Amino acid sequence: MTPEAMIPQTVLPQGATVNGQGHLVIGGCDTLDLADEFGTPVYILDEESLRQKCRRFVQEFQKRHPATQVVYASKAYINPALAKIFAEEGLGLDVVSGGELALAKSVDFPLDQVYFHGNNKSPQELAEAVENNIGWVVLDSFHELEILNAIAGDAGKIQNVLIRVSPGIDPHTHAHTTTGILDSKFGFSIQTGHAAQAIRQTLQAANLSLRGLHFHLGSPIFELEPYRAAVDLVIRFASEFREDGLELKEFSPGGGFAIAYTRDQEPPDVGEYAEAIVSTMISTCQELSMPLPRLIIEPGRSIIGPAGVALYRVGTIKDIPGVRRYVSVDGGMGDNIRPALYQAVYEVIAAGKADQKPSRKVTIAGKYCESGDLLATDIMLPEMETGDIIAIPAAGAYCPSMASNYNLNPRPPMVLVRNGESRLIRRRESYQDMMHCDVV
């Protein structure tokens, strides 16, 4: 086997390779050099993978339906340098808080390309959205509908809105990340009649302009059928309100596109998701003689997830004879909560021994004071020693964005790599940073 064949290419950024010393190379950079230069834990983002994925989404959807806007879901992970990249790639931005909106504003992201989501936006956040002339607020409750209508009225503005409906379709993913079923805190349920009521009420609201409907089923969704079923159902539902004055000018089936976390996973390609969504939308609209709406696609995980690789350094190794070997690293649930929260499973690569055969079963433990702080359980690696670097691929989404200061560990830096060059886009937190807001 060539060294390249020994690394799980499908979970790594494009062009990942193994150099003559047996080290994992990402974006042309030796990961061991990156670990030395920036310290560990550190999150590496491959800029080329990130940009290519943005372009793939735009191309695959626009070639099937030119009136498609691709909107990056910031909650997967955002910072100012990345927001600039998404703007350069022509993407819009989904935000779910005043903080994400403030970040977009700080880099002059075009705010007319911003969508504001969330099941409990505060009056202050809604006021900030209206004040800043953001493109769309995605209505999620009657409470919000009333507040937003009043805020827009006070500001003398008409706010564009979409209504988030819950179609009652199960995408077969983890319960914590299923959002479009009846028992969900998100959206107006079609089943209960609340979605119908929300449409009528919004059409009556003097200061809101109802542009269309939105749904988001959950994430990650490895199947195409839930998208097909929900697109068809929601467009049919929209058609029932034509006489009430609802024109479906815009339509969004959200995000949730899956990525491979392990070598045995084969999620659909971007083109397959695009085909399922666009062909269903077109055929249902044609059947109902409805004009085709503008389509809004909201990928988060699928854009930034595969571009990210976390690097950790091995510290303590503990053998419990006949039970297991714990290999502890200098990060864990503070920078990646997903194994503890969702039982997420990751590949682990011995970054400095990427050309060596796995020879021993180990469990990778984090450094946090929780027994559940395990990054990977019972995986096969080459013989690991203290000081070795391990890499966890597919770590770009919902890891740094969910990071905490639990145990007062500083959150890790973020480094962008491309063509053998690296650029720090977020420095490591200091102890002072962590105490910055404390009042003595």
Give the three-state DSSP class for 276: helix
Nearer to ligand PLP, 35 or 93 (CB): 93
369 counts as catalytic: yes
309 token code pair: 């690789």
Nearer to ligand PLP, 220 or 339 (CB): 220
Contact residues toward ligand PLP (CB under 6 A) are 73, 75-76, 94, 117, 216, 219-220, 254-257, 298-302
Q: Are strands 294-297 and 68-73 parallel, antiparallel or unpaired?
A: parallel
Nearer to ligand PLP, 301 or 411 (CB): 301
Query: What's the distance, CA 310 to chain centroid?
Result: 16
Nearer to ligand PLP, 75 or 367 (CB): 75
**CA–CA distance, 327 with 188 (Å, rounded to integer):** 46
Contacts of 133 (CB under 8 A, 6+ apart): 111, 112, 157
Kindly state the smallest distance separating residue 219's Cβ from ligand PLP, in Å.
3
User: Which of 57-62's residues contact partners 24+ apart within 8 Å by CB, and which partners?
Assistant: 57/270, 57/274, 57/297, 57/299, 57/302, 57/303, 58/89, 58/90, 58/91, 60/270, 60/271, 60/273, 60/274, 61/274, 61/277, 61/278, 61/295, 61/297
Kindly state the smallest distance separating residue 221's Cβ from ligand PLP, in Å.
8
Give the three-state DSSP class for 41: coil
Nearest to 255, CA basis, from 270, 265, 266: 270
CB 199 within 8 A of CB 244: yes
Nearer to ligand PLP, 171 or 334 (CB): 171
Among 54, 285, 369, 399, the one annotated catalytic: 369
178: phi then psi, degrees, rounded to nearest 5: -100, 125
Secondary structure (H, E, C), 374-401: EEEEEEEECCCCCCCEEEEECCCCCCHH
Kindly state the smallest distance separating residue 397's Cβ from ligand PLP, in Å.
6
Q: Which residues are catalytic?
A: 369
